[in-house]
């Protein structure tokens, strides 16, 4: 029996490894997950509690899973983070911090943080069917991107120290002469990049929204249900009681985490209201208060990420999440009333 124990202890223990494949309509080549002494928690940042994908990953890795909407998880302790971001904020922040990010929505890199969303740290469209055990033959290095960054910095430092210090006066004179050209080149490059990002944002965010709303309105028109759409928009956003009820419903903490993802709902509702205003079915005065009523939930899904990035204590995170979420119940109604009063005073 003692010999068997010695033999068993001599055999290297095989660590549990999980492979996350890309889901239907998703993006990425897949991620390999393995717990380490430093990284041993699965963070779930989805509305409605811990997501089934996060639960399955934690069960396969035999590690704890934490609801990041209720308690703080240190970035250094995360094996991965599971989120449901349809926009650009949460989806890009965690890859920027070299955290393996699993998006349950079929989203692709976009927005100002798109350059950080790479196949090495991000995969989307994931369901429980894409979470499976791996054969264990893949080597995982959670700090791979950090090491690459360190190596690049070391190379830059080495090259700067190895440069020759002779001819300082000639270099200063050359810089002075070439400064106007450099300034012009920098300005043109800045304008080019700004235009490129503007077009990219339009193609990835504005245009799909326009097409989606167009299909929605066209469907009502095709089935002769334009009157139904007009009544829905009127009774929800074309009068003060409807806007107040909508603001309260959207600001309920249980719903705000769902509705805030991607800020899509508010955009669609405002476009529908604008369409009805253009048709002459609703007065223009309701547009301004409707902006506050339909967007009261925006940002609630990003609160845990923002508080974690601020290095807040766990008690601060818990108190901050509840304070901001429940304060929306009060401020939502106040904002709608102020906006309505302002529109009245402006003579709309």
Return the pLDDT at 260. Answer: 57
Looking at residue 318, what is its pLDDT? 74
**Which of 121, 138, 155 is the C-terminal boundary of a domain?**
138
In a domain, 6, yes or no: yes
Out of 35, 80, 85, 335, pick the active-site residue: 85
Q: What is the pLDDT of residue 6?
A: 34
pLDDT band for 269, please (50, 70, 90 cuts): confident
Measured distance CA(158)–CA(63) in Å, rounded: 42
Please check whether residues 127 and 229 belong to one and the same domain: no
State the CB neighbour count (10 A cutoff) for residue 105.
19
- 198 within some domain: no
Q: Which segment of 57-71, 127-141, 263-277 scores lowest on mean pLDDT?
A: 127-141
Structural domain tally of the chain?
2
Q: Which helix (H) or strand (E) holds 323?
A: helix 314-345
pLDDT digits (tens, 9 = 90+) for 60-95: 999 999 988 778 888 888 999 998 876 666 778 888
Return the higher-pLDDT residue of 181 and 106.
Answer: 106
Cβ-in-10-Å burial (0-12, 13-18, 19+) of 78 comes to buried
- Domain membership of residue 49 (yes or no) is yes
- Residue whose C-alpha is closest to residue 20's, from 28, 10, 11, 30: 30
Domain membership flag for residue 257: yes
* Residue 219 falls inside a structural domain: no
pLDDT at 149: 44
Distance CA(194)–CA(201), nearest Å, equals: 10
Do 126 and 232 belong together in one domain? no
Least confident of 1-5, 50-54, 146-150, 282-286: 1-5
pLDDT of residue 10: 35
Of 113, 138, 163, the position where a domain reaches its end is 138
Residue 146 in domain: no
Tens-place pLDDT, residues 111-124: 677 788 889 999 99
Q: What angle, rounded to 10 degrees, do the helices at 226-237 and 264-278 form?
A: 110
Please indicate whether residue 63 is annotated as part of the active site. Answer: no
Q: Would residue 307 count as lying in a domain?
A: yes
311 against 154, higher pLDDT: 311
For residues 132 and 238, state if they share a domain: no
Is 157 inside any structural domain? no
The residue out of 98, 118, 138 marking a domain boundary is 138
Residue 164 scores a pLDDT above 50: no
Residue 55: predicted pLDDT: 92
Model pLDDT, residue 64: 92
Least confident of 95-109, 232-246, 322-336: 322-336
Q: Read off the pLDDT of residues 15-31 as tens digits, 9 standing for 90 and up.
A: 688 999 998 888 899 99
pLDDT of 262 reads 54
Dig out the tokens for 145 from the structure.
């991107």
DSSP string, 85-122: -SSSHHHHHHHHTT--EEESS---S-STTGGG--TTTE
Whole domain around residue 317: which residue ranges? 225-346
119 and 23 housed in the same domain? yes
Residues 110 and 231 in one domain: no
């Amino acid at each position: 029996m003692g010999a068997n124990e010695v033999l068993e202890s001599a055999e290297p223990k095989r660590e549990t490894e999980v492979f996350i494949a890309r889901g239907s309509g998703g993006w990425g080549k897949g991620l390999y997950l393995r717990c380490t002494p430093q990284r041993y928690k699965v963070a779930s940042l989805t509305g409605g509690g811990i997501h089934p994908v996060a639960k399955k990953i934690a069960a396969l890795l035999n590690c704890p899973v934490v609801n990041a909407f209720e308690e703080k998880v240190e970035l250094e302790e995360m094996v991965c983070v599971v989120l449901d971001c349809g926009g650009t904020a949460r989806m890009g922040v965690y890859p920027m911090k070299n955290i393996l990010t699993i998006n349950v929505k079929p989203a692709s890199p976009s927005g100002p943080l798109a350059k950080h969303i790479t196949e090495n740290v991000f995969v989307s469209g994931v369901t429980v069917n894409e979470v499976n055990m791996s054969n264990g033959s893949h080597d995982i290095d959670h700090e791979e991107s950090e090491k690459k960054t360190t190596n690049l910095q070391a190379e830059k430092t080495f090259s700067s120290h190895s440069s020759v210090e002779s001819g300082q006066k000639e270099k200063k004179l050359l810089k002075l002469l070439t400064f106007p050209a450099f300034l012009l080149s920098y300005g043109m490059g800045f304008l080019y990049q700004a235009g490129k990002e503007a077009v990219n944002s339009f193609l990835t965010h504005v245009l799909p929204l326009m097409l989606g709303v167009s299909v929605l309105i066209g469907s009502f028109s095709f089935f002769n249900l334009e009157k139904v759409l007009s009544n829905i928009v009127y009774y929800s956003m074309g009068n003060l009681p409807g806007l107040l009820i909508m603001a309260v419903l959207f600001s309920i903490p249980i719903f705000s985490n769902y509705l805030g993802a991607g800020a899509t709902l508010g955009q669609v509702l405002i476009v529908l209201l604008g369409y009805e205003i253009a048709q002459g079915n609703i007065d223009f005065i309701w547009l301004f208060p409707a902006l506050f009523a339909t967007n009261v939930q925006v940002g609630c899904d990003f609160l845990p990420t923002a508080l974690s990035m601020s290095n807040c204590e766990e008690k601060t995170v818990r108190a901050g999440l509840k304070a901001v979420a429940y304060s929306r119940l009060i401020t939502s109604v106040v904002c709608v009333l102020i906006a309505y009063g302002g529109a009245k005073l402006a003579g709309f």
